[in-house]
């Protein structure tokens, strides 16, 4: 077939220069068709494409697009003259259409003489695809469903061209036609009977065919097996394998499994149609039994939940019904029941009290030994109390005695209703009964403690705060308490004693409180007010209310900033200095009473003074000259920049209390005078301090070895005494030894004490006559020693 293209429109184009050029005509061939799956042994011409420009030019043609130079490559080709060829068969389901672009060029100038043209090639369908099933072919329908119940829908598809007979599918069943039916056009499966029974057959397999071409014999088809499961309904009640059951139980046992009851159920296991529920329909009026379901075996489990008494009941007949969680449907059957005979076996029991608990009313403060009741027990077999003994099991406050032979309960100690052992007026004890075979029974005695008026109303032991108000008298509420209960407690009566001082008045406020009011101006501080308080029975006594009158802020006392109040720490702070002072006195006394260590001073000769070591204090006694030591040598050391002084402890032990005794230190070159006032120095102390203490380099360190404490004491006492000496009397004042300042070159010539220069004479060691002239004080000391 040769195709000629005609003009569809004529357009004029004008160049920018305004010169008219040749216009191109538009060429537009109709779509071409090819048949899919056509075997191509050699290239087959399809159409010839001609451009309208061929009337003026000699043209050649080119083609491109899918099927030519794009995938799938090589399906089509176009020769230079415009003939279109097909080279390969095409699958429409993969490539239903091709769109190619054809161009026309001048053979001489290669100039494109027409606009590019898109041509369409449609692939025509052939019925080369059979219909296929989509989705699983599995369905479920309940047993005993009515005819026409929808089971499910068969889904299928066909790849051929839509809207043609190639894809029009027809459904049919090849098997199971006696139970099911299928709609040929929609593929919906329905039931064809109402006799489906899961317990007979729970699954059906049917063959379904799908065929295109609307079921024509020439149509393509496929088949599949559909699985139709039959769902369960509770159309079978549980049944018992036996017609009756028997169980036994010992009396007094409880919470014990006594019987397992198996059942049969044809319904689907583990579903509510199969799971059993058991009910005791008869014989359990007293609630002695309960029945549960074993979740694994679906059996009934019969328990004794409350103990049985053989003496009262030796045999129990029960009736037990088995049900399902789901109700029965689709059947006329009913729930089934089975009888169960429970035999109670007798055992030797312990004694049993007449009642598990008894109540006894007892007044508090009942006299000891008072009988308040009897609590006895019986042997269940013999119905006798013979041989039974009674004991207390619990008695928290030890208030009750139990007679072991007859169970009499008597008061053992004072019963107090206000005790912590009593709760809401109730006090409990437990009693144990023991028979001859050592079996026991226990009972409880509830003692209701009745109140008596054994407590008086009292006021709380705390200060009552009354706030001062300018221009008016204060008042406050006074509240009393009574541990008793009505009618031995409130309402209370309040009054002041007949001999009250008239400073206060009191009026009743409510059953437990009264208003206490000032009648006169009273100073701030604490005041005690006697108040008579009585209970409803008139029992009471005078109570003392402590009232604290103060200035208040927000109903709280304000502490006066000008006043001083001491708490425990304040008192401790005041007592601490006194304690320290006392401790200082004790330390001073200790040092004064401690015996000073004796120190021997070597005699180096010709050093000026002689110290006499002697315990003999009476005149005229011979003194061993070996006891008289020579002048001492100071061996204290010097610390650079300071001087440690003479051993003041030694001076105190050897020179104190001796009138006129004097020691000359050749190294220090100053005098030490001892008297009842202690040691003191002459005016040369200052010179020593200047020369040596201020310049340690000029002092021989080997003479100072004493502790620095003695230096400090020497410096302090020396300075003090040096100043005091200026106020003491001299020799010219006729005062001996007590307050006499001795000049260095004057050693007592003409004084009553005489000179002590003899002591430096080593050649006269045995001459002790100087002891007779040591002054009045020494003579007095000698007289005292003589009396001993």
pLDDT bracket for residue 53 (50, 70, 90): confident
Q: What is the CATH number of domain 132-231?
A: 2.60.40.60
pLDDT value, residue 251: 86
pLDDT value, residue 741: 52
Contact criterion met (CB below 8 Å) for 391 and 402: yes
Contact criterion met (CB below 8 Å) for 179 and 197: no
553/555 Cα distance (integer angstroms) = 5
Residue 491, preceding peptide bond in cis (omega within 30° of 0): yes
pLDDT value, residue 298: 95
Contact criterion met (CB below 8 Å) for 628 and 611: yes
Give tens-digit pLDDT for 729-767: 554 554 444 445 555 544 454 545 455 444 444 444 555
Q: What is the CATH number of domain 245-345?
A: 2.60.40.60
Strand partners, 121: 32, 98
Give tens-digit pLDDT for 319-351: 999 999 999 998 999 999 999 999 999 887 788
Give tens-digit pLDDT for 67-114: 999 999 989 999 998 899 999 899 998 999 999 999 999 998 999 998
Taking residues 451-469, report their average pLDDT: 81
Give tens-digit pLDDT for 147-185: 999 999 999 999 999 999 999 999 999 999 999 999 999
Taking residues 176-205, report their average pLDDT: 95
Is residue 3's pLDDT more than 60?
Answer: no
User: What mean pLDDT value characterizes the chain?
Assistant: 77
Taking residues 357-383, report their average pLDDT: 89
Taking residues 574-581, report their average pLDDT: 81
Q: Work out whether strand 203-211 and strand 426-434 pair parallel, antiparallel, or are unpaired.
A: unpaired
pLDDT value, residue 131: 95
Determine the 3-state secondary structure of 752 from DSSP: coil
pLDDT value, residue 408: 93
Is residue 202's pLDDT more than 70?
Answer: yes
| Structure token digits, residue 212 | 């295109």
357/4 Cα distance (integer angstroms) = 125
Among 232-246, 425-439, 490-504, 589-603, the least confident range: 589-603
Taking residues 600-609, report their average pLDDT: 47
Give tens-digit pLDDT for 270-304: 999 999 999 999 999 999 999 999 999 999 999 99
Tell me if 132-231 shares its fold with 464-557: yes
Q: Which comes out higher in pLDDT, residue 660 or 41? A: 41
pLDDT value, residue 2: 52
Q: Which comes out higher in pLDDT, residue 694 or 320? A: 320
Taking residues 137-146, report their average pLDDT: 95
Q: Which comes out higher in pLDDT, residue 706 or 120? A: 120
pLDDT value, residue 343: 95
Listed by start position, the domains of the chain span: 32-124, 132-231, 245-345, 353-450, 464-557, 603-787
Strand partners, 300: 261, 293
| Share of residues in the chain with pLDDT > 70 (%) | 69
Q: What is the CATH number of domain 353-450?
A: 2.60.40.60
pLDDT value, residue 779: 65
Is residue 357's pLDDT more than 80?
Answer: yes
pLDDT bracket for residue 516 (50, 70, 90): confident
Give tens-digit pLDDT for 705-724: 444 555 666 666 766 666 66
Q: Which comes out higher in pLDDT, residue 537 or 414? A: 414
Determine the 3-state secondary structure of 48 from DSSP: strand
298/324 Cα distance (integer angstroms) = 10
| Structure token digits, residue 153 | 């829908």
| Structure token digits, residue 677 | 């006032």
Of 652, 669, 633, 660, which is closest to residue 713 (Cα–Cα)?
Answer: 652
pLDDT value, residue 383: 80
How would you class 683 by CB atoms within 10 Å of its CB: exposed for 0-12, middle for 13-18, buried for 19 or more?
Answer: middle
Residue 333, preceding peptide bond in cis (omega within 30° of 0): no
Q: What is the CATH number of domain 464-557?
A: 2.60.40.60
In whole angstroms, how far apart are CA 762 and each of 488, 626, 669, 726, 770?
108, 11, 22, 35, 14
pLDDT value, residue 724: 62
Q: What is the DSSP letter of 192?
A: S
Give tens-digit pLDDT for 559-571: 554 444 455 665 6
Q: Which comes out higher in pLDDT, residue 428 or 555? A: 428
Q: Does domain 32-124 have CATH number 2.60.40.60?
A: yes
Contact criterion met (CB below 8 Å) for 176 and 141: no
783/788 Cα distance (integer angstroms) = 9
pLDDT bracket for residue 484 (50, 70, 90): confident
């Amino acid at each position: 077939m040769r195709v000629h293209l005609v003009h569809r429109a004529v357009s004029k184009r004008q160049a920018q220069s305004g010169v008219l050029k040749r216009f191109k005509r538009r060429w537009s061939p109709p779509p071409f068709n090819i048949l899919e799956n056509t075997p191509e042994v050699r290239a087959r011409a399809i159409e010839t494409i001609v451009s309208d420009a061929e009337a003026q030019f000699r043209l050649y043609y080119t083609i491109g697009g899918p099927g030519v130079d794009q995938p799938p490559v090589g399906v089509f080709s176009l020769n230079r003259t415009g003939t279109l060829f097909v080279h390969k068969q095409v699958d429409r389901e993969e490539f239903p259409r091709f769109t190619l672009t054809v161009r026309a060029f001048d053979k001489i100038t290669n100039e494109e003489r027409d606009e590019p043209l898109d041509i369409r090639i449609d692939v025509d369908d052939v019925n080369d695809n059979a219909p296929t099933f989509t989705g699983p072919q599995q369905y479920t329908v309940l047993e005993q469903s009515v005819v026409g119940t929808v089971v499910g829908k068969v889904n299928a598809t066909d790849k051929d061209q839509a809207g043609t007979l190639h894809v029009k599918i027809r459904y049919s069943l090849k098997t199971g036609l006696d139970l099911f039916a299928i709609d040929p056009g929609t593929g919906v499966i329905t039931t064809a009977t109402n006799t489906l029974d899961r317990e007979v057959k729970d699954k059906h397999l049917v063959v379904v065919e799908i065929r295109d071409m609307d079921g024509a014999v020439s149509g393509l088809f496929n088949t599949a097996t559909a699985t139709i499961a039959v769902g369960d309904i509770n159309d079978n009640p549980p049944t018992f394998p036996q017609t009756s059951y028997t169980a036994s139980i010992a009396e007094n046992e409880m919470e014990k499994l006594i019987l397992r009851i198996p059942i049969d159920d044809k319904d689907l296991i583990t579903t509510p149609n199969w799971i059993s529920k058991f009910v005791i329909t008869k014989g359990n009026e007293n609630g002695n039994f309960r029945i549960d379901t074993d979740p694994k075996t679906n059996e009934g489990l019969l328990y004794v939940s409350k103990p049985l008494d053989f003496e009262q009941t030796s045999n129990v007949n029960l009736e037990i019904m088995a049900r399902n969680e789901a109700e029965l449907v689709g059947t006329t059957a009913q729930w089934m029941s089975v009888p169960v005979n429970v035999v109670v076996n007798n055992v030797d029991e312990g004694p049993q009290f007449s009642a598990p608990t008894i109540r006894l009313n007892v007044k508090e403060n009942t006299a000891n030994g008072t009988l308040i009741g009897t609590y006895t027990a019986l042997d269940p077999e013999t119905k006798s109390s013979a041989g039974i003994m009674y004991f207390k099991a619990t008695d928290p406050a030890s208030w009750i005695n139990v007679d072991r032979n007859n169970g009499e309960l008597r008061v053992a100690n004072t019963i107090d209703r206000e005790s912590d052992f009593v709760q809401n007026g109730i006090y409990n004890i437990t009693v144990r009964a023991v028979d001859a075979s050592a079996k026991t029974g226990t009972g409880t005695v509830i003692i209701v403690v009745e109140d008596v008026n054994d407590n008086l109303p009292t006021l709380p032991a705390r200060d009552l705060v009354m706030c001062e108000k300018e221009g008016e008298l204060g008042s406050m509420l006074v509240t009393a308490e009574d541990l008793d209960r009505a009618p031995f407690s409130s309402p209370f009566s309040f009054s002041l004693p007949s001999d009250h001082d008239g400073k206060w008045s009191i009026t009743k406020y409510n059953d437990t409180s009264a208003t206490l009011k000032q009648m006169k101006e009273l100073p701030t501080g604490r005041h005690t007010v006697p108040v008579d308080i009585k209970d409803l029975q008139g029992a009471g006594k005078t109570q003392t209310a402590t009232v604290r009158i103060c200035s208040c802020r927000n109903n709280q006392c304000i502490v006066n900033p000008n006043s001083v109040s001491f708490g425990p720490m304040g008192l401790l702070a005041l007592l601490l200095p006194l304690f320290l002072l006392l401790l200082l006195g004790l330390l001073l006394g200790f040092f004064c009473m401690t015996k000073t260590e004796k120190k021997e001073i070597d005699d180096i000769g010709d050093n000026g003074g002689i110290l006499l070591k002697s315990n003999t204090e009476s005149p005229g006694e011979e003194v061993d000259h070996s006891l008289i030591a020579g002048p001492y040598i100071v061996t204290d050391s010097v610390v650079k920049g300071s001087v440690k002084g003479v051993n003041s402890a030694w001076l105190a032990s050897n020179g104190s209390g001796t009138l006129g005794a004097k020691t000359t230190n050749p190294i220090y070159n100053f005098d030490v005078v001892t008297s009842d006032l202690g040691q003191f120095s002459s005016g040369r102390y200052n010179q020593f301090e200047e020369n040596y203490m201020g310049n340690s380099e000029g002092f021989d360190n080997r003479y100072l070895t004493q502790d620095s404490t003695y230096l400090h004491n020497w410096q302090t006492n020396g300075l003090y005494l040096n100043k005091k000496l200026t106020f003491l009397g001299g020799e010219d004042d006729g005062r001996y030894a007590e307050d006499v300042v001795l000049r260095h070159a004057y050693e007592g010539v003409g004084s009553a004490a005489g000179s002590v220069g003899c002591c430096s004479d080593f050649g006269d060691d045995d001459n002790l006559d100087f002891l007779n002239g040591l002054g009045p004080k020494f003579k007095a000391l000698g007289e005292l020693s003589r009396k001993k």
